[in-house]
A and B are shown apart, each in its own frame.
Chain A
Amino acid sequence: MSASHRDSQGRPIVAVTGLGIVTSLGQGKDANWEALTAGRSGIHRIERFPTEGLRTTIAATVDFLFDRSVSAPELSEKLATLAAEEAVTQSGLGEAGDFPGELFMAVPPVEMEWPQKQELAQAVDGDADYDALLRVAARHKHQAMHELFLFGGVAEHIAEKFGTKGSPISLSTACSSGATAIQMGVEAIRRGETEAALCVGTDGSVHAEALIRFSLLSALSTQNDPPEGAAKPFSKNRDGFVMGEGAGALVLEDYDHALARGATILGIVAGCGERGDGFHRTRSSPDGKPAILAMQDALADAGLTPDDVDYINAHGTSTPENDKMEAMSCSAVFGERMATLPISSNKSMLGHTLTAAGAVEAVISLMTIANGRIPPTINYNTPDPAIALDVIPNQARDAKVRTVLSNSFGFGGQNTCLVLTAGPSAA
């Protein structure tokens, strides 16, 4: 046994030994990397449900997994399963159905959906109000609906399938959930509670009501034609985000544990930072302070400085407000260097995978490090003069990337940033 390794603060080092991803661009790292570096968009016209009367008719849904209509928790579970299988297989950790670590899952909030409520309503004479639905429910002939729409259901099923240890965590920090799942895994390993963690962010919740809710908040792009041109992070004509679906999974492992079993180290989660924003329910603080502090916290947690960062994987939603706030916050952290520091948004191609985004983008960030190639921000044809950034416009770029800052900002004042680095052996 070699001497134990510790980070700059004397804590266990958290290695990444497995990665998995599913998005609208396809299943698996290879398919996604090929598409992302080719600048291909996964955004398309919605066929899952009728879009008559809707202002937004496009999304980056994952439509290749089921040939029947499914609920959000079913799709979210399937996406998580596929991403986790890829990550766990790559890690080579444990046996099938016996993962020797804890589970941290970012899952979309669920509730009973219209098809199930309609099924109950079919059994009602007269008005289909909740008292009538309750009388149908009391016959206990629809028991599966209970489990389907429990908040803890998806994580419970993943825990059962993969045999993770301990009490599975289902969490939400809105659009930064995926990053929070990783952060909670990092913390558990640093505490020495577990030697490994399966961290997953998943979201398969594009259905009519979910889209309408975001639409009513004027958060979505309405530039439906062509669909693949709608997500335009950092462009002057950006007009909102596009909903996306997908899942990202990471196997995190105590570095020494991974070394001892001869595992391939794919990277290190070197630092995490998070800040609340007591400002507003949907808007970020106009001064960007919480985002700035979250980035600085993540760097400090990693024992690094802004000069160590080679690339920023942006939150970059393509909403007017986020991109402006993010650019300003990055400038505050990185100073003049921001004019030349590469920053790109995967959401230009994947849409906003919401609950999954932080995990999906962490996986892509680690692939960026491994391949020495930065995926572009596509649809960057009308630069916003107020945001002078090197967004890797439209075409991927080769670059030596050792350290990535991955940003996630969410409704409700959630700001979570991760610092991801190459493994020490790649020095």
Chain B
Amino acid sequence: MARDVVITGIGLASSLGEGIEAHAQALASNTAPVIDSQSFTPYPLHPLKPLELDKQIPKKSDQRQMEPWQRLGVYTAGLALDDAGLKDDAEAKSQLQVIVAAGGGERDHAVDAAVLTGLRNANQPGAFLNERLMSDLRPTLFLAQLSNLLAGNIGIVHGITGASRTLMGEEQAGVDAIRTARARIAAGQADIILVGGAYNAERRDMLLLLELGGFLRAADFAPVFARSDAPGLITGSAGAFLVLESAERAAARGAKAHARLSHAGAHRSRRQPGSVAKALDELLAGFGPVAADALAISAATGCAAITDEEAAAIAKAAPGARRVATGDLVGHSLEAAFPVSVALAAAALSTGAANEAIVTGAAHWRGEGAARLVKA
């Protein structure tokens, strides 16, 4: 009864560049990652390779009304639409549903610093704060910051008039976006969905949030599964969007299917030792036997204990699989981490580098997800 769901569009951009080829090549050859160890010391991160924004966001006025994470997302959404052959298909774009995994906007770091410094000596802190914010906040800042405005900008820039939904909640938002998109198409509630997310790592406000909880690695780059000396995230700027489509619809329009997304699942449990391994074991077991030559792509964080549990779950479900950590290629991109990982898997299947892939991801704080891709 459930319909097959295929991936007909892949849009990817990261520190490695943009597009399927660049990423498939890095995946195949274990290319050394691009790391900036200086700008945000002591926190290394993977900076975005600059994009020629005009290629996907022709109007400067549109570019100006967005923040870097939104531009990255709109750009990769455009790549996915191009790849799927939908950019000029007005009919498809009126049906196309959009699901975005998003965080929030970037603070104006200079304004915040000036206000915080001034607040310490203000006689009337409340009035001081009001005065400064009324004069220093850009009126459009709020719009650039709203979580759902990545989806809004995708609609405006690419002319999509189908409905959009924005899921929030760090890594798990990316898992649930993919899971929900797949389920809606499989059940016949939608025929075609653009789904993904984008994350700008090059911002101190997000580093601050993650460091408050002690989740950042403050040491030189080390591979995700080899960080026991200083466990934690190394973040990376990355965006990924996928066009998911019912197999019938894709076939009817003669679209190339990169892969079939056969499964996508999510789990939530109170974290305790073993809970991540158990959650991923259950999710992966539900997908059925995994081929011996499968590719295993992990969106693992590098955070203590849970990363080892994820490794154990992958080894159990797919002992013969080649395991690749997305973080070792492009860094960890929170909301975008799972979509980027699924996009990498789809690229590997599309280029013939793999016949089957599983994707896993245990979020740094809560939530676990997994997906399986097979040849279309």
B166 near A122: Cβ-Cβ < 8 Å: no
Q: Assuming the A-B contacts A109-B146, A117-B112, A212-B137, are A168 and B268 also in contact, with contact meaning beta carbons closer than 8 angstroms in the complex? A: yes
CB-CB under 8 A from B292, the residues of chain A are none
Among candidates B109, B112, B187, B212, residue contacting A142 with C-beta atoms closer than 8 Å:
B212
**Number of B residues whose C-beta is below 8 Å from A?**
81
Q: Which of A121, A134, A282, A410 has the most CB of B within 10 A?
A: A134
| B189 beta carbon closer than 8 Å to chain A | yes
| B86 beta carbon closer than 8 Å to chain A | no
A274 near B163: Cβ-Cβ < 8 Å: yes
| A145 beta carbon closer than 8 Å to chain B | yes
Complex Cα–Cα for A107 and B120 (A): 31
B133 near A208: Cβ-Cβ < 8 Å: yes
> B232-275 CB contact bits vs A (8 Å, 1 = yes)?
00000000000000000000000000000000001110100000
Q: Closest residue to B184 on the A side, CB-wise? A: A187
CB-CB under 8 A from A411, the residues of chain B are 143, 146, 148-149, 152
Min CB distance B143 to A, Å, is 5
Complex Cα–Cα for A214 and B137 (A): 11
Binding-face segment, A18-26, A78-86, A87-95, A148-156? A148-156
Tell me the total A-B contact number using a CB cutoff of 8 A: 245
> B181-209 CB contact bits vs A (8 Å, 1 = yes)?
00110010100000000000000110111
Q: Which of B133-155 contact A (CB under 8 A)?
A: 133-134, 137, 139, 141-143, 145-149, 151-153, 155
Q: Which of A91-125 contact B (CB under 8 A)?
A: 107, 109-112, 114, 117-118, 121-122
Q: Which of B53-107 contact A (CB under 8 A)?
A: 65, 98, 102-105, 107
B155 near A134: Cβ-Cβ < 8 Å: no
Q: Which of B158, B183, B208, B218 has the most CB of A within 10 A?
A: B208
CB-CB under 8 A from B117, the residues of chain A are 121, 127-129
| A167 beta carbon closer than 8 Å to chain B | yes
Among candidates B148, B153, B189, B218, residue contacting A190 with C-beta atoms closer than 8 Å:
B189
A208 near B129: Cβ-Cβ < 8 Å: yes
| A342 beta carbon closer than 8 Å to chain B | no
A174 near B207: Cβ-Cβ < 8 Å: no
CB-CB under 8 A from B367, the residues of chain A are 152, 167
B179 near A52: Cβ-Cβ < 8 Å: no
A208 near B126: Cβ-Cβ < 8 Å: yes
Q: Which of A255-276 contact B (CB under 8 A)?
A: 274-276
CB-CB under 8 A from B131, the residues of chain A are 52-53
CB-CB under 8 A from B164, the residues of chain A are 173, 276, 412-414
B126 near A147: Cβ-Cβ < 8 Å: no
Complex Cα–Cα for A137 and B52 (A): 35
Complex Cα–Cα for A137 and B156 (A): 38
| B127 beta carbon closer than 8 Å to chain A | yes
CB-CB under 8 A from A308, the residues of chain B are none
Complex Cα–Cα for A110 and B170 (A): 12
Among candidates A51, A147, A169, residue contacting B213 with C-beta atoms closer than 8 Å:
A147
A187 near B268: Cβ-Cβ < 8 Å: no
A173 near B133: Cβ-Cβ < 8 Å: no
Q: Assuming the A-B contacts A167-B172, A411-B143, are A275 and B161 also in contact, with contact meaning beta carbons closer than 8 angstroms in the complex? A: yes
CB-CB under 8 A from A68, the residues of chain B are none
Taking chain A's interface residues, is the majority helix, strand, or loop, or is none over half, making it mixed? mixed
Among candidates A52, A155, A412, residue contacting B152 with C-beta atoms closer than 8 Å:
A412
Complex Cα–Cα for A191 and B180 (A): 11
B212 near A53: Cβ-Cβ < 8 Å: no
Q: Assuming the A-B contacts A128-B120, A146-B212, A151-B173, are A156 and B366 also in contact, with contact meaning beta carbons closer than 8 angstroms in the complex? A: yes
Min CB distance A288 to B, Å, is 13
| B221 beta carbon closer than 8 Å to chain A | no
Min CB distance A25 to B, Å, is 27
A276 near B98: Cβ-Cβ < 8 Å: yes
Q: Assuming the A-B contacts A114-B129, A172-B168, are A147 and B139 also in contact, with contact meaning beta carbons closer than 8 angstroms in the complex? A: no
Min CB distance B167 to A, Å, is 5
Complex Cα–Cα for A149 and B210 (A): 10
Min CB distance B366 to A, Å, is 5
Complex Cα–Cα for A107 and B184 (A): 22
Complex Cα–Cα for A127 and B112 (A): 11
A172 near B208: Cβ-Cβ < 8 Å: no
| B17 beta carbon closer than 8 Å to chain A | no
A159 near B209: Cβ-Cβ < 8 Å: no
Q: Assuming the A-B contacts A137-B212, A152-B173, A172-B166, are A191 and B155 also in contact, with contact meaning beta carbons closer than 8 angstroms in the complex? A: no
Complex Cα–Cα for A145 and B213 (A): 7
Complex Cα–Cα for A215 and B133 (A): 11
A171 near B155: Cβ-Cβ < 8 Å: no
Q: Assuming the A-B contacts A51-B130, A146-B209, A160-B270, are A412 and B151 also in contact, with contact meaning beta carbons closer than 8 angstroms in the complex? A: yes
> A194-213 CB contact bits vs B (8 Å, 1 = yes)?
00000000000000110011
Q: Assuming the A-B contacts A143-B214, A208-B133, are A122 and B120 also in contact, with contact meaning beta carbons closer than 8 angstroms in the complex? A: yes
6 pairs of A and B residues whose beta carbons are closest in the complex: A152-B169, A146-B213, A412-B152, A50-B126, A167-B266, A274-B163
Additional 17 contacts, C-beta under 8 A, given A137-B211, A278-B158: A53-B134, A121-B120, A128-B113, A128-B116, A129-B113, A130-B109, A146-B215, A167-B268, A172-B146, A172-B166, A173-B148, A213-B137, A213-B142, A217-B142, A217-B143, A276-B163, A412-B152
Q: Can you pick out 30 interface pairs between chain A and chain B where the beta carbons lie within 8 Å of each other?
A: A53-B131, A107-B168, A114-B115, A127-B113, A130-B204, A130-B205, A134-B207, A138-B218, A145-B213, A150-B365, A152-B173, A155-B169, A167-B369, A170-B167, A170-B169, A170-B173, A171-B165, A173-B148, A173-B166, A190-B187, A191-B183, A209-B133, A214-B142, A215-B134, A217-B142, A276-B151, A276-B161, A281-B143, A412-B151, A414-B164
